[in-house]
Amino acid sequence: MLLKENDRIIFAGDSVTDMGSTNPVGEGLFDNLGQGYVRRVDNLLGALLPQYHFRITNSGIGGNTSRDLKERFDRDVIELKPDVVSIMIGINDVWRQFDTPAALDNQVMPKEYAQNLCEMIEKAKAAAREVILMTPYYMEFNTLDGMRSRMDVYGKICRRLAEEYEIHFVDLQEVFDKYFRTRGENGEYAHHSTFIAWDRVHPNQIGATLIAAAFLDACGLKLSLTEE
């Protein structure tokens, strides 16, 4: 297991990370951690590893692109002296290309996305013992769908950079694809994504648990819920 006693684990991201947490940084009791996968990680670690103490910090802010996260990365991640940094960003980089196509200044194209990630990964590697990069995703099984195919481009950038920088990698797109295949018959995508995310992005508690389990798998806890 890559987690150690008294580790401070910081989750950086957008609304999927935020999920109602205290902004810009949430931690501690009540709803400060939000109601998404960060809270599920905290719950699972507390329940399964009671002999350990971890400080969980939610540095997600809804609506953020990688450009936004990069601008606040020093304040909300590096200056907090993390031991483990998780980065999941990119959904809004893609989404803005579809929901506000005329607002070109709000869009983050693949080249800039890769540059933004590189800068954040380099800072995180210098500050923390472990860095985990999780892909953006879109819960659409049809890979020819415009937004899904575009999201896959950004996911491949994450995979490439994780290999180049030799950091831990979680393919959340594959996590959700495998989940829906597993629930179906003969590999069919039987359950529509609204079962766990009304807009194919923001997960309910089932979806949040899937992300949390995938993150903890990367940490060596082997909690995968999507084995076929």
Residue 212 pLDDT > 60: yes
Q: Is 167 left (phi over 0), alpha (psi -120 to 50) or beta?
A: beta
What's the CA gap between 82 and 86, in Å, rounded? Answer: 10
Contacts of 79 (CB under 8 A, 6+ apart): none
Q: What is the pLDDT, as a whole number, of residue 224?
A: 66
Q: What is the pLDDT, as a whole number, of residue 100?
A: 83
Can 15 be counted among the known catalytic residues?
A: yes
Which member of 83, 86, 152, 202 is catalytic? 202
Domain 8-218, CATH class in plain words: alpha beta
Can 21 be counted among the known catalytic residues?
A: no
Q: What is the pLDDT, as a whole number, of residue 223?
A: 76
Q: How many other CB atoms sit within 10 Å of the CB of residue 86?
A: 29
3-class secondary structure, 122: helix
Please spell the DSSP secondary structure of 52-69, one letter per residue.
---EEEEEE-TT--HHHH
Can 202 be counted among the known catalytic residues?
A: yes
Average pLDDT over residues 172-195: 74
Residue 188 pLDDT > 80: no
Which member of 7, 15, 76, 83 is catalytic? 15
What's the CA gap between 15 and 92, in Å, rounded? Answer: 9
Residue 202 pLDDT > 90: yes
**31 or 156, which is more confident:** 156
> What is the greatest pairwise CA distance in the chain?
53
Average pLDDT over residues 45-64: 95
Q: What is the pLDDT, as a whole number, of residue 163?
A: 97
What's the CA gap between 17 and 40, in Å, rounded? Answer: 11
Of the listed ranges 51-55, 183-187, 212-216, the one predicted with least confidence:
183-187
Beta carbons of 169 and 175 less than 8 angstroms apart: no
pLDDT tens for each residue of 125-161 = 999 999 999 999 999 888 899 999 999 999 999 999 9
Phi and psi at residue 131, to the nearest 5°: -130, 130
Bridge partners (DSSP) listed for residue 169: 133
Q: What is the pLDDT, as a whole number, of residue 226?
A: 45
Average pLDDT over residues 192-206: 87
Residue 191 pLDDT > 90: no
Structure tokens belonging to residue 120: 């954040």
Using pLDDT thresholds of 50, 70 and 90, give the confidence band for residue 101: confident
